[in-house]
Structure 1
Amino acid sequence: MTSFLLHRAVRNNALWCDAVCAAHGQRGEFARTLWLHRQGAPPFYPDAITLTGAESAAEQEEAIAVLTRSRPGGWGIKDSYCALDLAPQGFTVLFEAEWIGLDADDDLDDDGSGLTWERVETAGKLAAWEKAWAGGEAQAMPIFAEPLLQRPEIAFLAAYSGKALQGGAILNHQAEVIGHSNVFAIGGNEQPIRTGLVREARRLFPGEPIVGYESGDDLENALALGFTALGRLRIWARD
């Protein structure tokens, strides 16, 4: 199951990144071993994602070398299986993380938080959600564009205590799994948000595993909740 979830998690994440780019009017491209975006992806999103592992590393490194010669400017590469060596091309490792997964039949106990969850459905609420996710600072250019709200497989979720926003996250139901990302908790109490998010994923997209990736304290929190580590990924960057 781990291998299945890992491959599905990688595919799901590439489809999510493609959806974010498409919402800005610039969809990426899927090749056999890579997803790539030639024009430059939105902030915090990679320009290429590897879809296969070490058996394709040489092919991927060559393709990335060709791709990065196509335009000036910065590049970000998501090395989904920690299989590439991009240092000879001038890249450095920005960070590493762990893919995580929760099987479809794994459930969580009620945390007693009393949070209520709502799906973000308007452009105004999406802008407010993004500002809260960014720590209260509005982005110079929105990262999450309104067309994402029209896709039934994607859900922006906000958690409330009364009328006060407490946190939120994104669910992305593609590639036979539910990807979760952009988890945030106002005030730092993340566990009720993660627990509630799993329940919302079960309610909105029942019967599917939940996947994503995390690092540091966020990874420890997810593992403590019952997620399983699936494999390492690495983000490479070059100015």
Structure 2
Amino acid sequence: MIIEPAVLGEAVRNNALWCDTMCRAHGLPGAFGPRAWTNVRRTPLYYPDAVTLAADAEADDVVAGIDRTAPGASVKDSHARLDLTGEGFRPLFDAQWIHRPAGLPRPAAPAGWRPVRTPAELAAWALAWSDGDEDEAALFHPELLAEAGTRIVAGHAPDGAILGGAVLTDSGTVTGISNLFATAAADVAGSWAGALSLVAPGRAAVGYESGDDLTAAVAAGFEPIGPLRVWLAS
């Protein structure tokens, strides 16, 4: 299988856009440079302080533009090509970018999948996503509901209980799928099918996953298209 560099580039930039969207919802906008997205202030929980955009990005492109005054800064090395050990970072995890071509038949979606519309619905979605952890759920600010190109979606049981969800980010010709989850009363295959049912026709889907989550994504029709690595500073 031959993957065009443009396909990987769209997946990388799409994910960086979602990172920037989350940061802006917290009042912490980042900056897009020619080779990296960076944030001079520490980013929200689970979100990187820098994301490389180009395969030829170097350590200075990410390290120089982030806050290193306290431990815990992170860098998403989108092409798994950097060595940041000399800058005081260690590898946190590896993953694979994934791509599902536009026009590929979609799996049958369960009923009850729709966008989250109100702050109350978002609060319920976030609690389901975090498995009841209120501190983690607070990551999802209501400002996200007003972001163009961002849709938070959920699957519901007949009684209204949330069964799963995801974040959809539209950019260029692709839709990124992130933060996908299924509750104990559901299964992740249903969440992939439900999220894909809300991707506009004619758009490819992208994202990144690892481990069992990557296996589930491949079962839903995605293909791995390249490695990434997240680094964490001590």
Q: 2:172 aligns with which of 175, 188, 205?
A: 175
Return structure 1 stretches of 4+ with deviation > 6 angstroms.
none
Superposed CA deviations along residues 81-126 of structure 1, whole A, max 9, x for unmatched, are 0010001111111100000000111122426xx4311211111211
- Partner residue in 1 for 2:95: 97
Per-residue CA deviation, residues 124-166 of structure 1 (Å, 9 max, x unaligned), is: 2111111110111111672121111012411111101202211
Per the alignment, residue 33 of structure 1 pairs with 35
Q: What residue is the counterpart of 1:190 in the other structure?
A: 188
Sequence identity of aligned pairs in percent? 37
CA contact (8 A) 1:12 1:174 kept: yes
Distance 2:136 2:195 in 1: 28
More helix by share: 1
Residue 70 of structure 1 deviates from its aligned partner by 5.7
Structure-to-structure mapping, 1:210-229, within 5 angstroms: 210-229=205-224
Measure, in 2, the Cα distance between the counterparts of 1:24 and 1:68. 17
TM-score normalised to structure 2 length: 0.92
Partners of 1:89 and 1:237 lie apart in 2 by 10
Say whether the 8 Å CA contact 2:169–2:175 is kept in structure 1.
Answer: yes
- Asked whether the equivalents of residues 2 and 230 of structure 1 are also in contact (C-alpha less than 8 Å), the reply is no
CA displacement at 1:69 relative to structure 2? 6.6
Aligned partner of 1:145 in structure 2 is 141
- Counterpart of 1:75 in structure 2 is 73
Tell me the distance in 1 between the aligned counterparts of 2:47 and 2:229.
Answer: 13
Partner of 2:128: 132
Contact map agreement 2:36 2:62 (CA 8 A) in 1: no
CA distance in 2, matches of 1:231, 1:167: 27
Cα offset for 1:62?
2.1
Matched to 1:218, the amino acid is D
The Cα of 1:199 is off from its aligned counterpart by 1.3
TM-aligned CA distance change 1:88 to 1:106, over 3 Å: same
| Secondary structure, counterpart of 1:168 in structure 2 | strand
Contact 2:114 2:198 in 1 (8 A): no
Aligned length: 230
3-state SS, counterpart of residue 207 of structure 1: coil
Amino acid at match of 2:187: N
Task: State the SS of the aligned residue for 1:139.
Answer: helix
Pairwise CA distance, 1:173 = 0.4
